[in-house]
Structure 1
């Protein structure tokens, strides 16, 4: 089956060359690699790839939708990659083999090593599931609550993405991937997890995940849309987790009243953890809360 890769990017594209090199270096190589330039100024030129130009930035969901349109009717499989992530050698082959072994799976996702801007592994551990095929009913609550599906690991059947409606940007521009996985699961899709398909997922100050408050607001919207997929207790825990993340984001913005309000609501949904109680206590101490707001949003310590 023909494979098309979609890479959305907006300048400055600090790691795009590394990301593209890793994609083109796969064996077998994908039939098409489409880089969607999401309104960069000046326009980007990328050697070895097709470039689809968007004159006005619309975010990753709109960019990926443009990539899907460029591949329409030509590639049975769509692989997703972000411009700051890196595929490991053998990633694509492992997923093609997994999808051949499991024809009932509409998508395959892989394992993640979280790295910092310099490419060194951090202390963060990505959530993971057991290898093999996971049916929609069993996987949906896992994806809903702690999404183990990193976008840059996904290879999916183009028809399944289309059947679920593709990427939507209106609801949650920073959680469009989770929204799509949940819509696919709502259609009864089975996903395969292949741990031999690995990527480096890069955390950096310019990444979307660095804006904790914006990401938390998008996750709240996605979880509200799909709450009917899971048991009420799962929905409550996910909302509580999102509200704590929102509180941390508000602390970074020095909007302490909103941070306290988010923590109070979270505590009504799920018992606060010791760290969450410590965060609430810190918000009463001006010096400590200011220092907390300056901390990196994600673990940074190297594991090397």
Structure 2
């Protein structure tokens, strides 16, 4: 039984492998101005969570320990901060925490910095995994100027952000080519992209596949393909990376560390929700684990095939206090 001022939360008090994760009591957070607190129903497991937990992220050193991982969450609002309009307690929402906190979602309660109403068409698991993937993909597509008639190459099309970017680009009227391992090609095709294998010779394979060439390229994989993407599009100005810090050296635009950079991240989430209602968007979820098995979830998220997101499901209301 946790004290009244505490909630249950996934947490770690030292860096290391997934086994450092445990579930225990943690002080409850509260919504500040412009924020809402939700009773969490599901929380996504993102690559940043794995890097922070292992201690390999440059940001790991500034984490106060113990730390709750998780940046994406969906749940029911139970506390509304000052200056929040249009939402009330009892509303079902999905979104993400303030990125400066580097976590806090994998718990009984989480405070969201940006969010949108969860549509009935979106399961709790999908909604819990959607926040930063949708925001990141929307921001990248906006910066590239993807629109009707664009032919876009997404390098790394099957992961959490890639699978979302493919669908959002297709919804804008773009033709999308998506790279991935051969075993992921059927999955990429179901998302709405033409699949192609990544790796050496990508430029030749794409030229044989796409008459008229590629207008723009988005690097999500961070696998060292920027030079090939430049060759495919013809200019560094047509390439954007969200995963390769060497981009500026090659004249490639880089979009890293700007979570919430477009107005509170809410525009992209609301659009994704609307597309979900129309049956034109889904958040691929490849595995769901209860929060008590967070270590297994982190281990699964680190393994392939990366076809969508791994999600942590919260126990029923008050179930974590027994």
Question: How does the TM-score come out when normalised to structure 1?
Answer: 0.27
Higher-strand-fraction structure: 2
Higher-helix-fraction structure: 1
Question: How does the TM-score come out when normalised to structure 2?
Answer: 0.26
